[in-house]
Structure 1
Amino acid sequence: MATLGASPAAPPPWSLLCALVALAALWFTWRVLEWAWLSPRRVGRALRAQGLRGTAYRFPSGDLPEEVRLLAAEVAKPMPLLSHDISARVAPLLYKGVKDHGKVSMGWEGPTPRVILNDPKLVREVLSNKFGHFKISQLPANFIKMVANGLANHEGEKWVVHRKIINPAFHVEKLKKMLPAFTSCTSELIKRWEDLVESGKGREIDVWPELQDLTGDAISRAAFGSSLSEGRRIFRIQSEQVQLATHMSKTSLYIPGYTYLPTTLNRRVKANSREVEELLKGIITKKERAMKNGHADDDDTDMLGLLMMSNMKESQESGSSKPMMTIDDIVGELKIFYFAGMDTTSVTLTWTMIMLSMHPEWQERARDEVLQVFGNKQPDHNGVNQLKVVTMVLYEVLRLYPPFTFLARQPHKEVELGGVTYPPGVQLFLPILTIHHDPDVWGKDVNEFKPARFAEGVSKASKDGAGFFPFGWGPRRCIGQNFALLEAKVALSMILQRFSFELSPSYTHAPFRVASLQPDHGAQIMLKKI
C-alpha cells in the first residue's frame, strides 16, 4: 500500500524512449503520406480545375507501370524498315498522352506531377527562362555524382561561373585547332574499314560500335591531347557507366534509396566512378605541372588545357586566391563532356549512315558536294562551312532521330505558363521527339526524310521557325553543339569520299532510347570502296 502523500514514481526510461520512437514514426508516416498521397491529389485537383486533362494519380508509382507495359508492347512489335514514324515506339507514354489528352496534358512520374508541353512556343518560353522561374529537373544525386556532374546540372551563380570559364574552349578559333584530331581519328577508322572491304565487293559492318569508338577517340584527343591512352580508357568506362547508371536510375524510381544499396550493379558503377576520377585527376595534375613549368601557352589546343588556362585567367581577374573551379569541378565537367559528347556525335553519325542507306539519292547528293568541295583531300574548316547539302542531311537526321528525346524543367516558385498556373515541384516535360514529329509544326510529310526542308536554314524549316530543339534552346543550349556538328561533318565527308553504302539484309530498324536514341540491334551496313 502506497504511503499517503508520497510523490508518484518517475516513468522508466524505456517508456520515454518508446514515446519518442512513436512520435518519430508518426512524423515519418505523415511525411510519407503527404509526399505519396495528399500532395499529389491536391496538385492534381488544382491542375484539373484549370482545364488540364490527363491521367489520374495512381498510388504510389503513378504512370510508371503503364509506361513499362506500353514500352514492352512497342518493342515486341516489328517496325517497318523504311519508317521514320518512331514516336509511338520510342516514347509510347508521351505519344499516348498527347494523342489522348492534347498538346498540354498531365501525367505522373511516381507521385510527381508531370506536365507534357508539346507546344514549341511554350517550350521556348520555358527554355528561355527569361525571368528565372525555371530550374533543371535533376537526376538522382548519386547518378549525377557518378556519371554527369557538370555544367548541365548546375544552377545559379555556379552555372554562370562555369559557363564563362568553359566558353573559350568552344570558340570557333579553338575548334579549328581541334579539327586535326577529328581527321586523324577518322583516317584511322577508314584505314581499318578499307582493310576489311575487298575491292569490288561489299562487306557488312556494324557501324554503331565503330562510330562510338571513333567519337570516343576524337573526344580523347580533343580533350587530352597527348594523354590519349588514359582518354581512351575513360571513354570505355564512361560508355559502360551510361548503360549501367541508366538502368540503375530506372530501378531507383520504384525503390527509393536503391542507388545506395550494396548491389553488384551499384558496386560496379561506384568502382567505375572512382577509376574515372583517379584517371582524370592524374591527367589534370600532369597538365598543372606542365603549365607551372612553362610547357603550356595560349596556343594549347586540347580541351583540358584551354579549360585550365581559362580557369586561371578568370580566377586572377576576379582577385580570388583560389581557383574559381576546383579540381573536383574540372573532373565533373570532363565527365559530362564524355557523357554528352561521346553519344551525341556517334548516334547522329550512325543514324545518318542508316538514313543515307535508306535514301541513296541523298547519299549521292551529299557525296557529290563533298567531292566538289574537297576532292580527295582531307576536310578543312573553310570547306566544312561550304557544305550545304551535308548540313541539311544532318539537320534532318537530328530532327527525325534527336540524340536526346526530351528535356525537363521545374518551376522553383509558382508560375503562369500558357494560361495555367503551376506550383513548385511540378515537372514540365519538354518532348523534343514528339515536337520534331508533329505534323502541325512540320507539315503532313513530317515523318518523311526530306533534308530539303532545311534548304533555307533552321528558321524557315518549321512553322514559325520554332520547332527544332536537338541541342536544347536558350541560355542553356548545349555548349558542345558546334563541336559535335564539326566532328560529324568531318567524319561523314571522309566516309563519303571513300565508301558507298547500303543497308545490310540483317539490319533491323529498331530505334530505342537508352541515355540517347540508339539502334537497338546495331546498324549493319554494307560498305563498298569507291
Structure 2
Amino acid sequence: MEVYLVLKMISSMVLVGLLGFLLYIYNSVWLKSERVRKKLRVQGIRGPPPSFLYGNLPEMQRIQLQAMKAPTHHTDNEFVAHDYTSTLFPYFEQWRKEYGLIYTYSTGMRQHMYINQPELVKELNQCITLDLGKPSYVTKRLAPMLGNGILRSNGHLWAQQRKIVAPEFFMDKVKGMVGIMVQSAQPLLRKWEECIESQSQRGMAAEIKVDEDLRGVSADVKCLVCFGSSYSKGKQIFSKLRCLQHTISQHGFLFGVSNFGSFPMRRKQNEINSLEREIESLIWEAVKERREQEISDTSSSSSSGKDLLQLILEGAINDHTLGEHSSKQFIVDNCKNIYFAGYESTAIAISWCLMLLALHPEWQARIRSEFSQICPDGVPDANSLPQLKAVTMVVQEVLRLYPPAAFVSREAFEDTQIGNVVVPKGVCVWTLIPTLHRDPDIWGPDANEFKPERFAEGVSKACKSPQGYIPFGLGARLCLGKNLAMVELKVVVSMIVSRFAFSLSPKYRHCPAYRMIVEPGRGVHILIQRANAKEDQSN
C-alpha cells in the first residue's frame, strides 16, 4: 500500500512538473512569439501560420522534399533561365508568390521577416544603427568557421575590426596587387596548356574540371596579398577551412535547426571541433612566424610594406581594451574571416564565369579581341583593367545571375525602423539576393537571360532600381573585399579567355548547391583548347 502511494505521489509530481513546463513554454515562448507576429500583422505583414514549437519547419521540410523530387534536367539554353532558388529555397519562392515581397515566417520559436522590395532592401542595407546586426543564432553556428571576426561580429567590436581591415582593400591598395594576381594565374595557364598537350590530338579539346585549379589561384592571391611569406601555412588553412565549410553546411546552420529538427551527430560535432582547433593552430603558427620575421627584419617597420596580417597584429597590440587571450583570439578570428571570405567566394565566382562563357562563345570572342588590343603583351596591369569593358560587363552579369552570397540577413536587437516598417526586437530579416537579381520588375522581361550588354553604361542604367543589384551588399556592411574580388575576377577571367577557347563538357551537370555560398554542386567541366587553334579551325 505504501509503495502504491509513493508511486502515485511521484507520478503526480511528474505530471505537475510536465504541465508546469508546458505552461512555461506556452507563456514565455509561444505567447512571446505570438506578440511579435501580432506586431507584424498590424503593419499588414502576413505569412504562413506556424505550428506549436516547430513553427513553419514542417512545412519547409515538406516543400523541400517536393522540390527534390521534381525533375532537374535542363538543356544548355535552360541553364541560365533556371531559377535555382526554386530548388534550393523552394519555400521562400512559394511564400513569396502567396504573400508578396514582404512576409513573415517562423523556425521553431524564432520569427523571421522576408524582404525583397527594392526600397526596403536599400533601407535595410544603408541602416547604420548598431541595433541591426548579423543574426545571433546563425553566427553561433558559424563560430567554428569565423570566430568573432568581422564577418560574424556586431556592434562596437565589428566597427573596431572594420576600421583596422577596411583600408587594406581601398582601390589604391588593390591596384598594387594586380601583379600578384597575374603571377598567381600563370601556373594555372601553364597547367591547362600541358593538359591540352597531353590529352589532345591535332588541336582537339581537352577536358578539365576547373574548380580546384581556380581555388588554387584564389588561394595564391590571398596568401601573397594578405599574408606575405606565410604562404605554405595558408595552403593548409584553405584546405581545412573547405572541409569545415562542408561539415557545417550539413548541419542546417541557416535556420538554427539541424536538418529541420534532428540533432547533429556527435561524431560530426567532434569533427567540427577538431578542424577548428587545427585551423586556429595553423593560423597562430603563421602569426608567430610573422612576429619573428618582424624582429629580425627591421625593414618591416616601413608602413608601405605592411600586409594585412601585420595590420591585424598592430591593431590587436594597440588596442588596450584587449587582454592577452582576447588579443590572440582577435588576430586568429580575423585571419579566419579573410581566408574564407576572400578565397572561396572569388574562386566560385570565376567558376560561374567560365560556365556561362562556355555557353556563349561570342562573349569569349569579344573579351579576347578587346584584351589583345589593350594588352598586346598578354599581361594586364592596373592601368589597362579599367579599359577592359567586355570582361567587366560579363563579370557583373555573372554576379547578377549567380551571386555567391545567397542572402543579406540582419537581426533587430531592439525595435528598429526600416523604411515604413517597424521590425520588432528579435526578428531576423532576410533578403534573397538571387530573387532580387532576377526580378522582371527591376531587370525587365529578359531578367533570366545572360545579357552582359545590359551593364554597358554601368549598374545605374542596367536596371530600374540600382539597389536591386547587391552581389556585395550595400551600405555599412558592404563587402570589404569588393574591390579586390572585382579586380581579381577581371584579371583571371581575361587571362584565361585570351589563351583558351572552351565549351561545356557533356559531363557538366547543372545543380547549384548552397554550402554557405552558392556554388556549382558537381563542379564545372569544360572542353578547352588554345584560342589560336580554335581560330585556325574556323578559318
Question: Normalization by structure 2: what TM-score?
Answer: 0.87
Q: How does 1:50-129 map to 2 (within 5 A)?
A: 50-76=43-69, 77-81=71-75, 82-83=77-78, 84=80, 85-86=82-83, 87-129=85-127
Moved more, 157-166 or 231-240: 157-166
Write the distance in 2 (CA, Å) between the matches of 1:519 and 1:225. Answer: 30
Amino acid at match of 1:395: Q
Counterpart for residue 43 of structure 1: 36
Counterpart for residue 303 of structure 2: 298
Deviation at 1:486, TM superposition (A): 1.3
> Are 1:174 and 1:301, in contact at CA under 8 Å, matched by a contact in 2?
no
The SS at the match of 1:425 is coil
- Within the candidate set 226, 233, 237, 1:234 is matched to 237
Deviation at 1:53, TM superposition (A): 2.3
Deviation at 1:321, TM superposition (A): 9.5
- Within the candidate set 277, 281, 285, 1:278 is matched to 281
Deviation at 1:414, TM superposition (A): 2.0
- 1:167 is the counterpart of 2:166: yes
The SS at the match of 1:197 is helix
The SS at the match of 2:383 is helix
Write the distance in 2 (CA, Å) between the matches of 1:165 and 1:491. Answer: 28
The SS at the match of 2:53 is coil
- Within the candidate set 208, 217, 221, 2:220 is matched to 217
Counterpart for residue 467 of structure 2: 466
**Residues 168, 309 of structure 1: CA spacing in aligned structure 2 closer, same or farther, 3 A cutoff?**
farther
- Within the candidate set 313, 317, 324, 1:308 is matched to 313
Moved more, 501-510 or 398-407: 501-510
Amino acid at match of 2:74: P
Residues 318-357 of structure 1: CA distance to partner in whole angstroms, max 9, x if unpaired?
A: 7879799822111111111122222211111011101111
Residues 134-190 of structure 1: CA distance to partner in whole angstroms, max 9, x if unpaired?
A: 222134455333101211222222112111111222123332333333222211111
**Residues 514, 70 of structure 1: CA spacing in aligned structure 2 closer, same or farther, 3 A cutoff?**
farther
Amino acid at match of 2:169: F
Moved more, 498-507 or 287-296: 287-296
**Residues 493, 96 of structure 1: CA spacing in aligned structure 2 closer, same or farther, 3 A cutoff?**
same
Residues 66-110 of structure 1: CA distance to partner in whole angstroms, max 9, x if unpaired?
A: 333333433442242323231322321111111111111122222
Amino acid at match of 1:70: I
Q: How does 1:355-366 map to 2 (within 5 A)?
A: 355-366=356-367
> Are 1:411 and 1:426, in contact at CA under 8 Å, matched by a contact in 2?
yes
Write the distance in 1 (CA, Å) between the matches of 2:502 and 2:243. Answer: 29
Write the distance in 1 (CA, Å) between the matches of 2:426 and 2:322. Answer: 38
Counterpart for residue 424 of structure 1: 425
Write the distance in 1 (CA, Å) between the matches of 2:376 and 2:65. Answer: 47
Amino acid at match of 2:165: I
**Residues 159, 46 of structure 1: CA spacing in aligned structure 2 closer, same or farther, 3 A cutoff?**
closer
**Residues 287, 99 of structure 1: CA spacing in aligned structure 2 closer, same or farther, 3 A cutoff?**
same
Counterpart for residue 266 of structure 2: 263
- 1:483 is the counterpart of 2:494: no
Moved more, 111-120 or 244-253: 244-253
Write the distance in 2 (CA, Å) between the matches of 1:126 and 1:290. Answer: 44
Write the distance in 2 (CA, Å) between the matches of 1:437 and 1:227. Answer: 41
Write the distance in 2 (CA, Å) between the matches of 1:95 and 1:320. Answer: 46
Write the distance in 1 (CA, Å) between the matches of 2:308 and 2:128. Answer: 30
Deviation at 1:483, TM superposition (A): 1.1
> Are 1:115 and 1:426, in contact at CA under 8 Å, matched by a contact in 2?
yes
Write the distance in 1 (CA, Å) between the matches of 2:276 and 2:322. Answer: 30
The SS at the match of 2:151 is helix
Write the distance in 2 (CA, Å) between the matches of 1:320 and 1:514. Answer: 36
> Are 1:311 and 1:323, in contact at CA under 8 Å, matched by a contact in 2?
no
Q: How does 1:404-423 map to 2 (within 5 A)?
A: 404-423=405-424
Moved more, 414-423 or 343-352: 414-423
Identity %, equivalent residues = 32
Deviation at 1:258, TM superposition (A): 8.1
Write the distance in 2 (CA, Å) between the matches of 1:212 and 1:391. Answer: 21
Write the distance in 2 (CA, Å) between the matches of 1:295 and 1:28. Answer: 65
Deviation at 1:255, TM superposition (A): 8.3
Root-mean-square deviation (CA, aligned residues, Å) is 2.8
**Residues 505, 295 of structure 1: CA spacing in aligned structure 2 closer, same or farther, 3 A cutoff?**
same
- Within the candidate set 249, 253, 259, 2:257 is matched to 253
The unaligned stretches of length 5 or more in structure 1 are 1-17
Counterpart for residue 534 of structure 2: none
Write the distance in 1 (CA, Å) between the matches of 2:322 and 2:250. Answer: 42
Deviation at 1:288, TM superposition (A): 1.6
> Are 1:405 and 1:431, in contact at CA under 8 Å, matched by a contact in 2?
yes
Residues 16-36 of structure 1: CA distance to partner in whole angstroms, max 9, x if unpaired?
A: xx9999999777555533465
Residues 240-279 of structure 1: CA distance to partner in whole angstroms, max 9, x if unpaired?
A: 11110121244950589988x7711111111111011111
Residues 424-482 of structure 1: CA distance to partner in whole angstroms, max 9, x if unpaired?
A: 11111111111111111111111011111111111222113221110110011010111
Counterpart for residue 331 of structure 2: 330
Question: Normalization by structure 1: what TM-score?
Answer: 0.88
Write the distance in 1 (CA, Å) between the matches of 2:402 and 2:66. Answer: 21
Q: Which runs of 4+ in 1 moved over 6 A?
A: 18-27, 255-259, 318-325
The SS at the match of 1:429 is strand
